[in-house]
Amino acid sequence: MQLPAGIPKIRARLAGARAVTVLTGAGISADSGVPTFRGAEGLWRDHRAEELATPEAFARNPRLVWEWYNWRRELIATKIPNAAHHALVELEQRIERFWLITQNVDGLHPAAGSRKLSEIHGNIWKVRCTQCRQVQENRAVPIPMLPLCPACDGLLRPHIVWFGESLDPDDLDRSMAAVSSCEVLLIIGTSGVVYPAASFAALARQAGAFVAEINLDPAPNPQIVDLTIGGRAAEVVPALL
């Protein structure tokens, strides 16, 4: 395979960097077989994620929302991390100050071994009680309907950040600090339309970082990115090391 021309430039930046932050989106897991949100496979029974991933949708029809999550849990349970997830674990071990911010809820980064990590939109293998707010790991596939809290009998919901909900303040603070203090920001496999993650590239660049994007189908955004590489995450990311 002929490597894209930008790879040596990113390699050189990474080789000289003490602080590196990485932001990932659904595109990195697409190479493990997990469908992206805004791609052709992003629909479930004709519903878009925007219609199901809201507190209002859950209040209206918790069974429908849980059925969607059960479908995704079944699918994700069969998937494993790919070469891009593994390469980021290696990068974490090489770089003095490293932080990985993922929008993905599939748990494939921790499964690969990433530890310096914020899962800013939550994790599909955790549930939270709508009454007592206790968070628990739950790997049942499928989860029995409707799942109730063992402590208080309240309705359980996915421990995921839906549209209109705030991110965990500690995760957000940690991520903003990593974005505004890094020398290199790598943005891998995200459409960059969902906030606050969509603002991270501009924030890093304002703070003087070199910002590089890896995307199968990159959108033109030269104002906020120094370098774009068009390609599959599982091929490009390992080649950066």
Q: Contact residues for ligand BJW (CB under 6 A)?
A: 25-27, 30-31, 36-39, 49, 53, 103, 105, 121, 160-161, 163-166, 189-191, 193-196, 215-217, 232-233
CA distance 102 to 111: 13
Question: What residues numbered 135-174 form the site for Zn ion, per CB under 5 A?
Answer: 149, 151-152, 154
- Residue 103 touches which of Zn ion, ligand BJW, none (CB < 5 to 8 A by kind)? ligand BJW
Task: List the single partner that 190 binds among ligand BJW, Zn ion, none, CB under 5 to 8 Å by kind.
Answer: ligand BJW
Min CB(18)–ligand BJW separation in Å: 27
Q: Which residues of 204-229 are buried (b: 16+ CB within 10 A; e: fewer)?
A: bbeeebbbbbbbbebeeeeebbbbbb
Amino acid at 29: S
* 47 labelled catalytic: no
CA distances from 37 to 42, 43, 65, 193, 235 (A): 4, 8, 15, 11, 21
The rounded distance, in Å, linking the Cα atoms of 166 and 195 is: 10
Min dist CB 150 to Zn ion, Å, is 8
Give me the residues that bind Zn ion (CB under 5 A), please: 129, 131-132, 149, 151-152, 154
What residues are labeled active site? Answer: 121
